[in-house]
Amino acid sequence: MPSDPTLPPSWGTGAIPAPGVMAVDWEERVNFDRLRSYRVARAREALERSELGALLLFDMNNIRYLTSTHIGEWGRDKAARYALITRSGAEPILWDFGSAAKNHRLHAPWFPPESWRSGMVGLRGSVPPDAGLFTRAVDEIVSILREQGVGDLPVGLDIAELPMVLELQRQGLDVRDGQQTMLDAREIKNRDEIVLLSTAASMVDAAYHLIWEEMKPGIRENDLVADVNRLLYELGSEHVEGINAVGGERGNPHPHDFSDRMFRPGDTVYFDILHAYNGYRTCYYRTLNVGLATSAQRDAYKKAREWLDDAIQMVRPGVGTDQIARLWPTAEELGFPDEMEAFALQFGHGLGLNLHERPIISRLVSLESPMELKEGMVFALETWAPSSDGFSAARIEEEVVVTADGAKVITLFPADDLVIANEY
């Protein structure tokens, strides 16, 4: 199947769907066969455009993109699962955790049974290299590369334990950066990926309505974090990666966390909700005030909104990320000594199976190394503005789809003006 990213023309002028999470027989929602075929085709095309003979993948996001398998978030930091695809045209092979391989043979028919194998290496060093698992794994990989005619070509690797890298090199393989090749593949989303991203965002719409209802003096940041976690899982979330809840005097500088601080009348509070639906992630900030707001707080919000709207208006195919980054204030204007310390306060980042994909938009990197926006990209744009009161700050974020006609926003909880919860 060719990796055609063409989006329905109606998406440029109408709403991008966020259908229910169930499968139904009376309308097409997400076509998972089309999704799986598209992702494998994109990976193959990116591999063909590279100098690599194969991609060896340990990154859970790349493994899922290539194989459409998932065994739970507990596996994300283990570096134990790995997949291989070569430019020979053969089907990818996945070495999964123990009995998961047998499970895939039973329930994942999109690859032949021999694609699903059990494998294990080091579990972040808990199994020492002298146990021989790295050697055994690389022996098998080298044998497959030779069988498929790519044994003399470089191998792209995304992430791995150092003993794995050393063993690949010891056995004569030319190991190169494969993460960039996979990011090439993943940067353009097809219609099914965009529907999954939109559906994930719709769950956060509901979470912000819950926050708006519950936010009042005496409620703590962590109380809302707990309630939002429960709601998201009830709605069908696969994983809640994190929730920032930053209120009152904690707002400046941004601490990127939550605490047990109680809300007080007049607090400005900003939240970021990061979760995944069928693997596809959100990064979705909103700022609300408790009961009332001062003119200084409203002015800060207005600044953050203007910077964000200017960026959204700039989004269209062919625009460089440097053009957007230049619209935002410098680190010094925000009260920071340099762009490294102000990083991610005025920020754009691709969304997909990972929280940070292409494009990355920041004054730290985009002015000197710009990327071109393309139709089918999906990314978040986020701004932060400090208040003149010295401690409050506003933070707003929108997720956008790049269409031929410009940006389509898929984060819909009201944010044109500062929202007051339980207004007095």
Ordered structural domains, the chain, with CATH: 51-177 (3.40.350.10), 191-421 (3.90.230.10)
11 pLDDT more than 80: no
Look at residue 4 in the predicted model and tell me its pLDDT. Answer: 65
Note the pLDDT tens digit of each residue in 335-352: 999 999 999 999 999 999
- Nearest by Cα to 186 from 158, 150, 145: 158
* DSSP state, residue 285: E
pLDDT band at 9 (very low <50, low <70, confident <90, very high): confident
The region that residue 335 occupies, defined by phi over 0 for left and psi between -120 and 50 for alpha, beta otherwise, is left
Look at residue 8 in the predicted model and tell me its pLDDT. Answer: 80
Note the pLDDT tens digit of each residue in 197-212: 999 999 999 999 999 9
pLDDT band at 12 (very low <50, low <70, confident <90, very high): low
Look at residue 14 in the predicted model and tell me its pLDDT. Answer: 74
Q: Which two tokens stand for residue 210?
A: 């819950």
* DSSP state, residue 189: -
Angle at 375 between CA 373 and CA 380, to 5 degrees: 60
Note the pLDDT tens digit of each residue in 133-153: 999 999 999 999 999 999 999
Note the pLDDT tens digit of each residue in 40-53: 999 999 999 999 99
- Nearest by Cα to 322 from 367, 369, 373: 367
Long-range contacts (CB closer than 8 Å, 24 or more residues apart) made by 147-153: 148/54, 148/86, 148/88, 148/90, 149/88, 150/53, 150/54, 150/86, 150/87, 150/88, 151/53, 152/53, 153/51, 153/52, 153/53, 153/54, 153/87
Note the pLDDT tens digit of each residue in 157-171: 999 999 999 999 999
Q: How many residues does the chain have?
A: 424
Query: What is the rounded average pLDDT for all residues in the chain?
Result: 96
CA 411 to chain CA mean position, Å: 15
- Nearest by Cα to 371 from 421, 307, 324: 324
Cβ neighbour number for residue 106 with a 10 Å cutoff: 9
Look at residue 3 in the predicted model and tell me its pLDDT. Answer: 58
How would you class 124 by CB atoms within 10 Å of its CB: exposed for 0-12, middle for 13-18, buried for 19 or more?
Answer: exposed
* DSSP state, residue 49: H
295 pLDDT more than 80: yes
Residues 43/46/52/58 CA torsion (nearest 10 deg): -40
3-state percent breakdown (helix, strand, coil) of the chain, nearest 5: 35, 20, 45
Look at residue 1 in the predicted model and tell me its pLDDT. Answer: 46
- Nearest by Cα to 401 from 352, 328, 334: 352
263 pLDDT more than 90: yes
Instruction: Report the share of the chain in percent with pLDDT over 90.
Output: 94
Distances (CA, A) of 296 to 61, 148, 293, 307: 42, 65, 8, 17
Q: Report the C-alpha gap between 228 and 10 in whole angstroms.
A: 32
Q: Provide mean pLDDT across the span 321-339.
A: 98
Q: Provide mean pLDDT across the span 272-294.
A: 98
- Nearest by Cα to 189 from 6, 17, 1, 21: 6
